[in-house]
Structure 1
Amino acid sequence: MGRKGSDEPDIAVRASVEGRLSQSPERAARALDTFRVGCSVEVLAGPVLPPRGEVTPVGPATLLGTAADTEACVREMQGKVDLILFAGGDGTARDICAANSGGIPILGIPSGVKMHSGVFARSPERAGRLAADFLTDPLRRTEMVEVLDLDEEERRAGRLSARLYTVARTPLNRRGDRQNPKAGSSDTVGEMDGAIAAYLRAMKTETLYLLGPGATMKVLKDRLGGGSLLGVDLAEGGRITGIDLDEHTLIERVAGRKVRIVVTVVGGQGFVLGRGNQQISPAVLRAAGMPRIDVICGADKLAGLNPQELTIDTGDPALDSRLSGYWPVITGPGRSLVMRVVA
């Protein structure tokens, strides 16, 4: 983990060489396990899906995981299915929409790096439950939501450039299982400056700080000497000591150290772990001894969340359950709010 997207043509080969595995098959299997508890309809699937109950193969016999493969599967499903359940990120959502000429409702199992679009469930299990609810509902209620994506070259260059690509029909979000589209930052600059200044004064020289991505975190990093906007960095002794580190490097650096993790909240969505900061993986958390996690976020951004809660999706359901509960969120100098955190 540590890439900032998967749209580059050679990314799969590079990831394999680095020993990185796709999350999509395992997360798709988790969604299907939940789906089959509440629904027994026929499932059409491409051949890359691991065995999880009976499925009917569809699409090309050999898939390489390219956009063309995805679009071929979607075209094959036209007129044959009532819902397209897919695993991936915003790039995959765009590919699905490009080939979905019949306007079949779609629902995403979050399995990418970028998931800013409103078509994604908040976790694989929620995707399976929402899909089952939709297909067993005689009314098959849907709504139109935004499909967003970032320019990956701009993203890797440290610049955020999001755009609206299209809208898509997706199951109605009756129980809050689907995430909202990402919203822009609404943190009040002066308020957050004060919160960050106070946090800096309280930082301990003997502690290793693992700093997540985002505009709020970039302000903190800049005051420690400068770090990345979109990566996970390390700081100790009052200065940045590691920039844009991947999961493997983080595991090596945190082992045996006194560690503290600092993150912010994804605007509009409420995620604190599992969106854009997947480098802070279950393996990293365990290697660091399950350290304290500090959240810094403006009160206005928290007030804009619907539902009024924070979300974690690390990829380990047992760990997510352990981390769920109530966390304090630093909202200003000497101020904090307690927020419910759910998986």
Structure 2
Amino acid sequence: MRLGVLVNPIAGMGGRIGLKGTDGKVAEARQRGAEPRAPERARRVLDRLAERDPSIEIVTAGAPMGADAVRAAGFDPRVVYEPAGPSTTIDDIEQTESSGDTDTTAGDSDTTAADTREAVEAFVDNDVELVLFVGGDGTAADVAEALSDTVIPLLGVPAGVKVYSSVFAVSPEAAADIVVEFDRIEQREVMDIDEEDYRAGEVSPELRAVASVPVADGLQSAKQRGGGSVEALAEGVASGVDPETTYVLGPGSTMAAIKSALGFEGSPLGVDVWRDGEVLAVDASEDEILAAMGEQNTIIVSPIGGQGFVFGRGNPQLSPEVIRQADVEVVASRSKLDDLRALRVDTDDPELDADLSGWQQVRVGKFETRMLKIV
């Protein structure tokens, strides 16, 4: 196979610091000390690909849009496009992390949506059979646009904050497995939302494209909005709170009902921290959550409808460090669970993902619970 590999180096940078994306916010993300997410996600998918099939021929763009990560995995790629902006390599990232330098954001660059489209057009000119990209919904839309006049399929490695589209694998490792194993393709939707509206608490996904995607069990579903009454569920959570426990409350409409039952409005699409009647943080970043946590902590989250993700989609502020300092309680309406076969996590920490896997109790009413497996 001749595989086109593209990395959006700024995808997901704004997540843990509470920016809910990087559209128009790259400079602010840098100032807040945001770290790149995409290079490590690229490293994981390419390392797995090297294990599964080191003979794959890879076409890519120059650093930081793919070439550095591809070479680090042991491949000898054909570089067919060079981004105009300054590049930062995998080695630069490691040097920055080891030095503790926070003045620059390793892996970041001035690459643009035009770079993405032009790189993919160069892949097409070099006869790739599949485009594997690392990014979010905006990257997916740009890749799909560049492929619109072709029959070449695309496959996403999720690295954005708001991964709504059904063209992504559920994890970097699953993406590599799909590349090696798929034998047919199907049409799937590329969705995106306006990040400014998203930051203001409004979610209106827009269909951006319909793209060819490999058919496999490791693909995530499109996000669906949950239905069903959550008032009793919220009442059950509120009636059982412990005054000594700090509660870290995730985003979403189900969680909004719980926040209301606790007596505050909160952030509809952000993470809030509450203890014994006091709101400690609203729309908090990872650092703000850690600062507000106490000796005894519980994270309450609701899975994304249709996808089943508990961590890793829409709530990157709930980082591995935050999760490791808390118990986890999962809540969901009955109708949301009816559409799910399993729950999923994608925390950027494979060891933590493995620790979280297994059977999980999910509150669906004031007293009722169901058991669902995290896979």
> How high is the TM-score relative to the length of structure 1?
0.91
Alignment equivalent of 1:293, drawn from 318, 328, 331: 328
Is 1:265–2:286 an aligned residue pair?
no
For 1:87-236, list aligned pairs within 5 A. 87-100=134-147, 101-134=149-182, 140-173=183-216, 176-186=217-227, 188-189=228-229, 192-223=230-261, 224-236=263-275
Distance across 2 between alignment mates of 1:65 and 1:109 = 18
Indicate the RMSD between aligned Cα atoms, in angstroms.
1.3
Higher mean C-alpha displacement, 237-246 vs 54-63: 54-63
Instruction: Sort the Cα spacing of 1:148 and 1:326 in 2 relative to 1 into closer, same or farther, 3 A.
Output: same
Report if aligned partners of 1:38, 1:133 keep a CA contact under 8 Å in 2.
no
Alignment equivalent of 2:351, drawn from 318, 326, 337: 318
Is 1:53–2:97 an aligned residue pair?
no
> 2:371 is paired with a residue of what secondary structure?
strand
Distance across 1 between alignment mates of 2:280 and 2:291 = 14
Partner residue in 1 for 2:339: 304
Report if aligned partners of 2:163, 2:313 keep a CA contact under 8 Å in 1.
yes
Shift of 1:17: 2.1
Distance across 1 between alignment mates of 2:360 and 2:316 = 20
Instruction: Sort the Cα spacing of 1:327 and 1:77 in 2 relative to 1 into closer, same or farther, 3 A.
Output: same
Instruction: Sort the Cα spacing of 1:114 and 1:103 in 2 relative to 1 into closer, same or farther, 3 A.
Output: farther
Equivalent residue letter for 1:45 = T
Is 1:328–2:333 an aligned residue pair?
no
Equivalent residue letter for 1:153 = E
Distance across 2 between alignment mates of 1:33 and 1:52 = 5
Report if aligned partners of 2:135, 2:158 keep a CA contact under 8 Å in 1.
yes
Distance across 1 between alignment mates of 2:44 and 2:60 = 15
Is 1:65–2:106 an aligned residue pair?
no
Report if aligned partners of 1:263, 1:272 keep a CA contact under 8 Å in 2.
yes
Listed as ranges, the gaps of 5+ residues in structure 1 are 135-139
> How high is the TM-score relative to the length of structure 2?
0.84
Listed as ranges, the gaps of 5+ residues in structure 2 are 1-15, 86-109
Partner residue in 1 for 2:37: 23
Deviations 1:12-48 (A, max 9, x none): 2222222212111110110011112222211112221
Shift of 1:149: 1.0
Distance across 1 between alignment mates of 2:40 and 2:358 = 26
Alignment equivalent of 2:46, drawn from 22, 32, 37: 32
Distance across 2 between alignment mates of 1:182 and 1:241 = 30
Higher mean C-alpha displacement, 235-244 vs 210-219: 235-244
Alignment equivalent of 2:280, drawn from 226, 238, 241: 241
Deviations 1:143-176 (A, max 9, x none): 1111111121211111111121221100012xx2
Equivalent residue letter for 1:69 = D
Distance across 1 between alignment mates of 2:272 and 2:166 = 28
Shift of 1:275: 0.4
Report if aligned partners of 2:129, 2:153 keep a CA contact under 8 Å in 1.
yes
Distance across 1 between alignment mates of 2:176 and 2:56 = 13
> 1:153 is paired with a residue of what secondary structure?
helix
Shift of 1:61: 4.6
Partner residue in 1 for 2:20: 4
Distance across 2 between alignment mates of 1:34 and 1:172 = 19
> 2:226 is paired with a residue of what secondary structure?
coil
Shift of 1:283: 1.7
Report if aligned partners of 1:60, 1:72 keep a CA contact under 8 Å in 2.
no
Equivalent residue letter for 1:146 = E
Over 4 Å off, 4+ runs: none
Equivalent residue letter for 1:26 = E
